[in-house]
Structure 1
Amino acid sequence: MSLRKTFQPYAIAAAAFSTLLAAAPLAAYAQDAVIKIGYAAPLTGANAGYGKDLQNGVQLALEDAKAQKILIDGKAPSFQLVAEDDQADPRAGVQAAQKLVDQNVAVVVGHFNSGTTLPASPIYDKAGIPMIDPAATNPTISGRGLANVFMVISNDAQNAGNAGAYAVDITKAKRIAIIDDRTAFGQGEADEFEKAVKAHGGTIVAREYTNNQAVDFSTQLTKIKSANADLIFFGGLDTQAAGVVKKMKALGMTAQFLGGGGVKDAEFIKLAGDAASGAMAWEYGRPLDELPAGKTFAERFKKRFGVDVLSYAPFGYDAAWAAIKAMQAANSTSPDAYRPYLKKIDFEGITGHISFNADGSLKSGLSTLYQVKDGQWVTIVTKSAT
């Protein structure tokens, strides 16, 4: 018998099996394969610390899911984190999004910056892949009607809205000024703060802007000083916020400093020094140590990664679990199958209650006011979304 004749039946069988594979729905084999969980955030550059903090939160969620031996369609899934560096740059964010789509991820947790999330999210939406946002807060992210966009963090309308209401109703500020860094995040915060101030009958006497690379704020603060402002709101991140309060002190300004999300950080106090005293900031969510599972999460996080939670890791953890729970409910990791369940998700996460409004924004958004006292951020009050 020739070798050709010997292998002919096997060749025919193999061809038939290949045909069957081609004809069968890919979803039928999804549970037998590695389930790719996409992640995008800055992993290099000035925001890399936040990106790594978030990534570790997502990684911990996947490890917990494995330890709990969860089942999807009767099988234990094997989750793989696929991370892309968006460099906190819109163009790189779009490239990172396309890479994740090309790698057939089942979901994306990301991004960190609003400026990268806004251009990246339509790419996921077009591909039919849900994106669960753990950190970017511009209201437009969920306000464009994209079916695959969800947020597990309060947006700027909620957080900066609370800040604006507080500035008018509680501090009784009469002459309010605003500075923002002109990023999608910082400007978005400033816009929502201004709306809330005006809605509560407050007066804006100056609106200045800089860019997110600036280190000198003399021009903006000199104009604000001449406008005799008694409160200054800053939309931007901690490093520049520290520069603003230091320059305020140098100019002899006594106006109250009020920051939005991204200011309340140990780095702000370190960089600002004595000028940080009395500064206030509204931050997304509730303090970790005041959440039922917060202390345990912080301890487990440090044991696993050797560092403390920086800020957004719990949101990354909750975003990953939102996807996992939706997949469990649908008994499938196919986006088309689990998306309807993601829209109805309802559970207690590390950061609080996780459920979504019709537009994908967080339904039970909270934000907390902090103030620097004796070199530490101290909790003042936590409020629900305005």
Structure 2
Amino acid sequence: MQRSAMTQKSRFLIPLALAALLSAAANAQELLVKIGHTGPLSGPNAFAGRDNENGVRLAIEELNAKKIMVTGKTLKFELLSEDDQCDARTGVSVAQKLIDSGVRFVMGPYCSGVAIPASRVYSEGGAMLSTVATNPKVTENGYKNLFRITAGDSQIGSNMAIYVAKVLKLSKVAVIDDRTAYGQGVAEQFTKEAQKQGLTVVGQEFTSDKSTDFMAILTSLKAKQPQAIFFGGYAPQAAPMARQMKQLGLPAKLIGGDTLCSAEIGKLGGDAVNDTVICAQGGSMLDKLANGPSFKAKYKARFNQDPDIYAASFYDQMLFIGDSMQKIQSIEPAKVGAKMYQSSYQGVATTYGYDDKGNLQQAPITVLTFRNAMPVPLESH
């Protein structure tokens, strides 16, 4: 009886041991690459953080399906996503958490106010950072392996000033910024170029990225009769600003950068944004690009919603990183980054090639307005 029991036990244990050995062998043939994502996953800008995360996730799923081989092992990409709340202190804590977790490739942050202080932590931790933060300071600290994967404030802010002067043919503008690193940066660039273009800046005001009541500011500006108001800030503030402009009978256009080019403004602002909000974002019109429609369809099939502003940019950069790993046969950020600095990658949104500071060498910009509370592209250049 005892021998019979032992035999039965052995029959049970042998398959388990074999499975464990096979699993260990499979794991030995895999090389784990942890990819971090940092962005606002809660709060008013959560829509953007989730969209960015989705772009990264879609690319990672495709890379895992391709089974990329590096030094004889199959790369297995794993996503670790953290909520930085668009808050500098939280963003620095998140950066340290990702570094401590063994992450060496980070996608994000979304907000410049997070990217500027957090980039030091990532640099010291030996991680590559790919961000859509647009403030010029993000790429001015000399950190290697830091890539801005879209147009910066200098391009976006300047472009909108030229658009107001040359295309809209207006002459009087006002400027409001939300005092964030992003808002101030893009507003400063707009103001500089506006003055170069001969526009008269009739008023400059500031608010906060938590405000929703702009009546006092707008009433003051209305008396100065601006034909356009440039707002350096985010969608959750721009939407009520557009509604309050309509309530006051202020006929000016509301001009802004990439953060205003979101469907979220239409959801929050309704018909007040139609033909009033005009914005510019990095990248060309997805619908006009060779692989744009197929990317939109793929994204919607996976996440049951349309991509927002930067999903395609994060998707492209993640695939660029995977492609560079395969070509250089390494997952070391320094080697992968060196390969990326000296090469280019044709993505959905644009062709990715970087200067020595990590800025895109070719950063196309699309100007949009809103109709039926949805962003509609006007032109790309």
Q: More deviation in 116-125 or 168-177?
A: 168-177
Residue identity matched to 1:372? F
| Among candidates 38, 41, 45, match of residue 39 of structure 2 | 41
For residue 159 of structure 1, the aligned residue among 156, 160, 179 is 156
1:362 to 355, 360, 363: 360
Residues 1:97 and 1:297: Cα distance change in structure 2 (over 3 Å): same
How far did 1:310 drift? Answer: 2.6
Alignment of 1:58-97 (within 5 A): 58-97=56-95
Q: Deviations over 1:41-88 (max 9, x none)?
A: 122222222112111111111111122222222322111112222121
Percent identity of equivalent pairs:
36
Deviation at 1:375, TM superposition (A): 4.2
The alpha carbon displacement at 1:199 in A equals: 2.1
Matched, 1:274 2:271: yes
Deviation, 1:32, is 4.7
Q: Which residue does 1:261 correspond to in 2?
A: 258
RMSD value over aligned CA atoms?
Answer: 1.8
Q: Residues of 2 paired with 1:270 and 1:350: CA distance?
A: 26
Instruction: Please list the CA deviations of residues 244-282 of structure 1 after superposition, one character each: whole Å capped at 9, or x if unmatched.
Output: 122112222122221221112223223323322222222
User: Which deviates more, 357-366 or 281-290?
Assistant: 281-290
Q: Distance in 2 between matches of 1:32 and 1:283?
A: 39
In 2, distance between residues paired with 1:33 and 1:262? Answer: 37
Question: Where does residue 211 of structure 1 map in the other structure?
Answer: 208
Aligned match for 1:314, one of 312, 315, 337: 312
Counterparts of 1:63 and 1:273, CA distance in 2: 35
Letter in 2 for 1:365: A
> What are the equivalent positions in structure 2 for 1:341-380 lying under 5 Å apart?
341-380=339-378
Structure 2 residue matching 1:364: 3-state secondary structure = coil
Are residue 110 (structure 1) and residue 108 (structure 2) matched? Answer: yes
Cα distance between partner residues in 2 of 1:30 and 1:153: 37
Residue by residue, what CA displacement relative to the aligned partner does 1:156-200 show, whole Å, maximum 9, x if unpaired? Answer: 111111101111222222211011111111111111111111222
SS at match of 1:116: helix
Greater mean alpha carbon deviation, residues 103-112 or residues 373-382:
373-382
Is contact 2:229-2:255 (8 Å) kept? yes
Query: What's the offset of the Cα at 1:122?
Result: 0.9
Residue 190 of structure 2 aligns with an amino acid whose one-letter code is: F
CA distance in 1, matches of 2:270, 2:43: 24
1:329 aligned residue (323, 327, 330) = 327
Q: Which residue matches 1:7?
A: none
Q: How many residues align?
A: 354
User: Which residue of 1 is the match for residue 99 of structure 2?
Assistant: 101
Unaligned runs of at least 5 residues, structure 1:
1-28
Contact 2:112 2:133 in 1 (8 A): yes
Query: Tell me, what secondary structure is at the counterpart of 1:315?
Result: helix
Closer, same or farther in 2 for the Cα pair 1:65/1:249, shift >3 Å?
A: same
Q: CA deviation at 1:148?
A: 2.3
Q: d(CA) in 1 for partners of 2:328 and 2:302?
A: 30
2:168 to 162, 168, 171: 171
CA distance in structure 2 between the partners assigned to 1:367 and 1:182 by the alignment: 24
| 1:91-128 Cα deviation digits (max 9, x unpaired) | 01000100111122131111111111111011111222
Corresponding residue of 1:141? 138
Matched letter for residue 107 of structure 2: V
Residue 227 of structure 1 and its aligned partner are, at CA, apart by 1.7
SS of alignment partner, residue 283 of structure 1: strand
Provide Cα deviations, 1:7-26, integer angstroms capped at 9, x if missing partner: xxxxxxxxxxxxxxxxxxxx
Does the 8 A contact of 2:112 with 2:181 survive in 1? yes
Shift of 1:372: 2.3
What CA distance in whole angstroms lies between the structure 2 residues aligned with 1:360 and 1:194? 25
Q: CA deviation at 1:326?
A: 2.2
Provide the residue aligned with 1:21 in structure 2: none
Q: How does 1:231-270 map to 2 (within 5 A)?
A: 231-270=228-267
Structure 2's unaligned 5+ residue stretches are 1-26
Aligned to 1:201: 198
Partner of 1:17: none
Bigger drift between 272-281 and 90-99 goes to 272-281
Verify: 1:189 aligned to 2:186, yes or no: yes
CA distance in 1, matches of 2:136, 2:169: 27
Flag the 1:331–1:171 CA change in 2: closer, same or farther, 3 A: same
TM-score by length of 2: 0.88
Report if the CA contact (8 A) 1:289-1:295 is conserved: yes
